[in-house]
Structure 1
Amino acid sequence: MSQLIYQFYIRLQEIEPPIWRRIQVPDTYTFWGLHVAIQDAMGWLDYHLHAFRFRPKHKRDVIEIGIPSEKWDDLETLPGWDIKLDSYLHQPGQWFEYEYDFGDGWMHDALFEGLLVKEKGSKYPKCLGGERACPPEDCGGVRGYYQLLDILNDPDHEDHQEMVAWLKGHLKKYYPYNPDMSFALRKCAFPVPQPDGKKPFWKNDVL
């Protein structure tokens, strides 16, 4: 049994102060497993498609790993459940990109920080830390996120009550939403990733 783990730093692009997480996953994981771990650590609900992207030096081609889909594929997308992490992650300090929800376009910077030895008695994957609350799912990307914050901070805004009702009625029940809420490690749970890529949103056709 392998005694090694990968450590990653994940942060959302274009949001300040940064929303970030640091996670560790077994070295036996595929990119599908890493996707599930990022979803759980960040606080996303895994409603939508995703993609990892690598931009090799001295090459024009972008390598995309995720869920192949004829609807969205401008690039050939390699199925993440077939590709082990060590296929593309070779050197600590390597940056790559993780996009979630091609409609809202949540772009994450991902840093491979190193290959470490498992701690005795620890369970993996696990989250080591992070800061700030994840944006509400389906809020409209970075622009919609900042608009939502402006509306919530202005009780007299014409859309204030509508946005409060939307947050209260959301599956995750985001209300009251506080973007600066301290990240709670104890609430970070990691289910076992499904190896074949068949996720619930496929059944509901929510892409």
Structure 2
Amino acid sequence: MPRQIFQLRISLSGVRPTVWRRVLVPGGYTLDRVHRVVQHAMGWRDCRLHSFEIDGVQYGEPDPDGELAVQDELDVRLDAVLGKGSRFHYIYDFGDWWEHDLLVEDVFVADADERYPTCLDGERAGPPEGVGGPQGYLLVLTALAHADHPEHSAMREWVAPGFDPAAFDAGRVATLLRHFC
């Protein structure tokens, strides 16, 4: 059977203007690999907890203490739980609560000349880690946009040098995906 490729649109919920990515991922990827794709596509550093929700079922890294009831993401392939038109959610950082809405836009046969996963498109930089979720990011964006804002200098120093919330480079993300996923 030919290898299936899933075209996913990843959108960060609660952030305006929208931060989104369009990626191509092999359908045979387990959810732990999809997690790595989302991390690199959005610019996260994978230093916080995460989970997926698909049809009301939670998937993630099993909790050794058994306090979080999640199915093991290593045991679930993308093509076993989703199809074209399916929507699912990915939560990153249970403190800041970054919710990502994922849509399977298309499913097609892999191109033998293409390397997967890859990033086709997207808009805007992902928020910095530890910014306080969508509300905290809004405050950072407001401070950065107005030189006379009382927090402008502090926020400029806090974010990474050269951080531009409007910037996005699909080619750079595609390279990261090929190397790390």
Aligned to 2:19: 19
SS at match of 2:164: coil
Confirm whether residue 176 of structure 1 aligns to residue 162 of structure 2: yes
Aligned position for 1:99: 91
* CA distance 1:192–1:135, change in 2 (3 Å): closer
Per the alignment, residue 38 of structure 2 pairs with: 38
- The 5-angstrom pairing of residues 13-162 of structure 1 reads 13-55=13-55, 62-69=56-63, 73-74=67-68, 76-89=69-82, 91-162=83-154
TM-score (norm: length of structure 1): 0.79
Q: Greater helix share, 1 or 2?
A: 2
Amino acid at match of 2:63: S
TM-score by length of 2: 0.89
Q: Is the 8 A contact 1:45 1:137 kept in 2?
A: yes
Instruction: Give the ranges of 4+ consecutive aligned residues of structure 1 lying more than 6 Å apart after TM superposition.
Output: none
Aligned AA for 2:70? T
Q: Distance in 1 between matches of 2:84 and 2:97?
A: 27
Q: How many residues align?
A: 178
Which residue type is aligned with residue 139 of structure 2? Q
Q: Which residue of 2 aligns with 1:10?
A: 10
C-alpha contact (below 8 Å) 1:67/1:80 kept by paired residues: yes
Give me the identity figure in percent. Answer: 38
CA contact (8 A) 1:129 1:185 kept: yes
CA contact (8 A) 1:2 1:28 kept: no
Partner of 1:58: none
Give distance in 2, aligned partners of 1:104 and 1:81.
24
What is the DSSP-based 3-state SS (H/G/I as helix, E as strand, rest coil) of the residue aligned with 2:142? helix
Cα offset for 1:157? 3.5
What is the rounded CA distance, in whole Å, between the counterparts of 1:176 and 1:72 in structure 2? 42
Kept after mapping to 1: 8 A contact 2:119/2:171: no
Alpha-carbon separation, structure 2, partners of 1:65 and 1:73:
14
Cα distance in 2 between the residues matched to 1:161 and 1:18: 25
CA deviation digits over 1:75-115, x for unaligned, max 9? x11111121112311x3111111111111000011001222
Partner SS for 1:130: strand
Letter of the structure 2 residue corresponding to residue 186 of structure 1 = G
Other-structure match for 1:163: 155
Shift of 1:13: 0.6
How far is 1:186 from its partner?
1.9
State the SS of the aligned residue for 1:165. Answer: helix
Give the C-alpha shift of residue 121 in structure 1. Answer: 1.3
Distance in 2 (alpha carbons) for counterparts of 1:71 and 1:19: 34
